[in-house]
Amino acid sequence: MQPFPPPYTPPPYTPPAPAKKSSNTLIWVLGGCGCVSILAIAVFAILLLISLSSGGTIPPDKQAYIGNWQGDGVTLNISGDGKVNWRSQKGNASKSVENLPIQRFIGDDFEVGVGPFTTRFTVQSAPKMIAGRWTMTIEGTTVTRDGGGGSTPDDSSTGIPDGGSSSGGLRDLKMARLTGSNDDDMTFTSTFDTSDTKITCVIYPTKILEGETYGTRWYAERVPRLSRDKLIGEVDFPTITKETSRLTGIRLSLTSDSGFPPGLYRVEVIRDGAVIGTTRFTVQ
């Protein structure tokens, strides 16, 4: 008879050692995160370059904002393609914006920037003609616009419009809307509606001489879906006679049965084949 075997005593429990992580796996994880970060930065940089390379949009009713403006310690340039350059120097404090596109207009104000990073410019007084100069109050400073660009003055303006030019021989040049069947019934304005089918340029020469010839060339200067500075019409006045030399002004109208698309237009006034003045108007 075999003796009863001694009680069995298992060896002490030893937990298994944790599995070693593969260094290759760790490197792959870190590398993957790095690639994602680099890709995100690259995409953002591309979007930033695209935004900076393309300007904003200037609506037809905001064309008067375009141009070079100067005031007390302030310079502002708004280009035709919507790029903004701004510098303000007040004492030791200076602020600047360089070549950023306009994102949108909010009433008279406008925002510039890229993506979510925008700066809003507060316009207390929108561009208007005062004493023969285009004037605007922006960020609390009144600025005036250099000659050239933009649209023509409002109904209260007198003289050759700023934003146009004259080489002599004109004492006034205005745009007008005929308000009745009689051509003498008209309202001076530089802003027209798309429903207007007849737009009139009124020329006031310093002196009208027998034998002279007057005419106009009409251009779509900045009109969506039309090439820039597209010639859209030419209107001539009959050669000045003894009777017509007594006129104080000459009216030349461009008509379109379907009206005119919104945008900025320019009219050149020609005397004896030479341009003696230009003016601009907007359709909205």
Boundaries of domain holding 116 = 60-145
Residue 156 counted as domain residue: no
Residue 114 counted as domain residue: yes
**pLDDT at 121 (0 to 100):** 95
Angstrom distance (rounded) from CA 217 to CA 186: 21
Handedness of CA 91, 84, 68, 153 (dihedral sign): negative
**How many whole angstroms from its chain centre is CA 29?**
48
**How many whole angstroms from its chain centre is CA 211?**
42
Beta-carbon contacts of residue 273 (< 8 Å; ≥ 6 apart): 213
Domain count of the fold of the chain: 2
Residue 116 counted as domain residue: yes
Angstrom distance (rounded) from CA 58 to CA 262: 12
Note every long-range contact of 123-128, with CB atoms under 8 Å and residues 24 or more positions apart, other chains counting.
126/64, 127/64, 127/65, 128/64, 128/153, 128/154
Residue 6 counted as domain residue: no
pTM equals: 0.47
pLDDT, block means (10 residues), the chain with 284 residues: 55 62 46 54 52 60 86 91 91 88 92 90 86 82 71 39 56 85 76 94 92 96 92 96 92 94 94 92 92
**pLDDT at 78 (0 to 100):** 92
Residue 88 counted as domain residue: yes
Same domain flag for 271 and 197: yes
Residue 151 counted as domain residue: no
Beta-carbon contacts of residue 6 (< 8 Å; ≥ 6 apart): none
Residue 90 counted as domain residue: yes
Angstrom distance (rounded) from CA 203 to CA 251: 6
pLDDT digits (tens, 9 = 90+) for 96-112: 999 999 999 999 999 99
Residue 44 counted as domain residue: no
DSSP string of 157-210, one letter each residue: --SSPBTBEE-SSEEEEEEEEE-SSSTT-EEE-SEE-TT--EEEEEEEES---T
For residue 118 the two structure tokens come to 């925008």
Same domain flag for 169 and 277: yes
Angstrom distance (rounded) from CA 63 to CA 183: 29
Interior angle at CA 91, CA 89 and CA 94, nearest 5: 35
Beta-carbon contacts of residue 65 (< 8 Å; ≥ 6 apart): 58, 78, 110, 127, 136, 150
CATH number assigned to the domain comprising residue 169: 2.60.40.1930
Same domain flag for 96 and 181: no
Same domain flag for 71 and 170: no
Angstrom distance (rounded) from CA 45 to CA 72: 36
DSSP string of 5-63, one letter each residue: PPPP-PPPP-PPPPPPPPHHHHHHHHHHHHHHHHHHHHHHHHHHHHHHHS-----GGGG
**pLDDT at 186 (0 to 100):** 81
Same domain flag for 137 and 199: no
Q: Is 116 left (phi over 0), alpha (psi -120 to 50) or beta?
A: alpha
